[in-house]
Amino acid sequence: MNNEQQELLDEAYNSYLTYIHNVVQGENQIYGDWYGKEEFINKCKTDLEFSEKWGLKIEERELTWDERHELAETKYQIDDVDDVLDKEGIPTKLITITYNNKTIESYE
């Protein structure tokens, strides 16, 4: 993930922590179900209801060969891509993160 995506994830997680902190009673103690940052991100990836509740949408999908081919030509200026997609490390996955009506895409 790129820095801009990481900032969106941090913003969403901090909002989640603020909510947890405000709801929980006691002196800086968190009771009940709550998630660490990695767990929060994974939960948003796999649980649509949870994702919608916190306004964080994370989508990952594998790129088709045609998409990788186009990416190699446009982003990496590789003309003869048939033999070099994997060799040159052309990404195989698209990651899309949306939070507060802001969407950021990156490739892995």
Q: What is the pLDDT of residues 32-59, one digit of tens each?
A: 667 899 999 999 999 999 999 999 999 9
Q: Name the domain count of the chain.
A: 1
**Helix (H, G, I), strand (E, B), or coil: what is residue 81?**
coil
Q: Output the CA torsion 72→77→82→83 (10° steps).
A: -100
Q: How far apart are CA 76 and CA 89, in angstroms?
A: 10
Say if pTM beats, i.e. exceeds, 0.85.
no
Average model confidence (pLDDT) across the chain: 83
Higher-confidence position of 16 and 72: 16
Which of 6-20, 72-86, 90-104 bottoms out in mean pLDDT, i.e. has the lowest?
Answer: 72-86
**Is the CA virtual torsion 28, 8, 108, 48 positive or negative?**
positive
Q: What is the mean pLDDT of residues 76-88?
A: 71
Query: Exposure pattern of 75-105 as b/e (b: 16+ CB <10 Å)?
Result: eeebeebeeebeeeebbbebbebbbeeeebe
Order of all β-strands in the sheet with 93-99 = 56-62, 93-99, 102-107
Domain residues for the domain of 68 are: 3-107
Alpha helices in 1-108 (DSSP H): 3-23, 37-46, 48-54, 65-74
